[in-house]
Amino acid sequence: MKALVTGGAGFIGSHLVDRLVNQGIEVVVVDDLSMGNIKNIKNRNLVTIYVEDVCNEQFMQRLLKQEKFDYIYFLAAVASVADSIDRPSETHEINHNAVLQTLEFIRVSKLKIKQFLFTSSAAVYGNLPDLPKKETSCVDPISPYAIDKYATERYVLAYDALYNIPTVCVRFFNVYGPGQNPTSPYSGVLSILTDCLKNNKLFTLFGDGLQTRDFIYVEDVIQALWLITESDAHRQVFNVANGREITLNDIIQTYEKIAGHKLSICKETGRDGEVKRSLANIDKLTSLGYSAKWSLKKGLSEYWKGV
Ligand code: UD2
């Protein structure tokens, strides 16, 4: 079996690559290293890595034709709502066009794949009041990032329905854990919190801290992705989350206890285009055999131990 992981040197991608290698799958990574790092991949000596942009159509076409992948995990993305608001056109190239180009090449070249997995986001749900979010809940994408993710989901599912290319979409909620890069202002809040607590830096809290998120430890995300692969699911959307909601204020308090000291905080107004509350219904994932192995406390403690 052979798998392509785009974004495979990134935070989630590198954990996935390690798991696939352990499953005995031959893995090829395409990553432009804009956020990723080859050192994130533990098994890098067993993996073929191309430092390339997924928007490079010629490169991607050559690779797809040559390697004939069984599985494609499309994780490469600019994973930030705020960044997409600053650079809507550039992020659209990566978050939408690159995926579509890949699927289109698979279609016209009649490549046979077992599963194409697209990583979407909880951002598609927007700010509609019903909670928890089910995969069938109404969506209301309110940022360029969310619009791209939702539009791409629809294409991905249509390529299955219209052209028989087996595809699935996963909607990631807030993923955290070792390897998440804290250096960008758009990095995940828990990587920034870790960096601030460790290095006594000032943490900027956007808004009142009452916004909630459904945080999932990266190892649980990998468990979910592998279950989805094994299930041969197709033309489906899955929430990937913990199924628990926590305010930013509460998570800061929890993390301060684990770290054993207080965080220095400065407050700023809330960021545009953000959702206030986020919580997933994970029944669909659970029906595949998923059960979260990492509570927030356990995940944060493990993350803290490793830094
Ligand atoms: C996450 C994902 C995004 C998308 C979205 C779905 C990351 C990095 N982003 O965006 O890709 O899937 O979920 O809803 O995982 N915050 C601070 N200070 C900081 C950084 C963040 O207060 O220095 C706040 C931020 O304003 C937000 C919360 O923390 O209210 C979480 O921010 P985030 O950037 O980690 O994730 P989110 O939910 O915006």
Q: What percent of the chain has pLDDT over 90?
A: 95
CATH number for the domain that contains residue 200? 3.90.25.10
Q: Ligand 1 centre from 63 Cα, in Å?
A: 33
Kindly report, residue by residue over 6-36, the tens digit of the pLDDT. Answer: 999 999 999 999 999 999 999 999 999 999 9
Answer yes or no: is the C-beta of 94 below 6 A from any ligand 1 atom. Answer: no
| Count of domains for the chain | 2
Predicted confidence band at 274 (pLDDT cuts at 50, 70, 90)? Answer: confident
List of residues 6+ apart from 258 with CB closer than 8 A: 297, 300, 301, 304
Domain of residue 47: give its range: 2-174+217-240
Kindly report, residue by residue over 136-175, the tens digit of the pLDDT. Answer: 999 999 999 999 999 999 999 999 999 999 999 999 999 9
Burial class (CB in 10 A: 0-12, 13-18, 19+), 200: exposed
Same structural domain for residues 11 and 108?
A: yes
Taking CA atoms only, the protein residue closest to ligand 1 atom 1 is: 174
Q: For residue 152, tell me if it sits in a domain.
A: yes
Kindly report, residue by residue over 34-66, the tens digit of the pLDDT. Answer: 999 999 999 999 999 999 999 999 999 999 999
Mean pLDDT of the chain: 97
Same structural domain for residues 20 and 63?
A: yes
How confident is the model at residue 275, as a pLDDT?
86
Dihedral sign, Cα of residue 52, residue 79, residue 287, residue 103 = negative
Q: Ligand 1 centre from 213 Cα, in Å?
A: 8
How confident is the model at residue 116, as a pLDDT?
98
Nearest 10 degrees: Cα torsion 122, 8, 103, 81 = 30
Structure tokens at 90: 């550039």
Nearest to 263 by CA among 302, 218, 209, 216: 209
Task: Report how far apart the first and last C-alpha atoms of the chain are (Å, whole number).
Answer: 34
Same structural domain for residues 134 and 190?
A: no
Q: Is the pLDDT of residue 272 over 90?
A: no
**Site to substitute for ligand 1 among 196, 206, 214, 249, most atoms within 8 A of C-beta:** 206
Segment 55-81 mean pLDDT: 97
- pTM exceeding 0.85: yes
Taking CA atoms only, the protein residue closest to ligand 1 atom 32 is: 189
Ligand 1 atom nearest residue 185's Cα: 23
Segment 208-212 mean pLDDT: 97
Q: Ligand 1 centre from 82 Cα, in Å?
A: 9
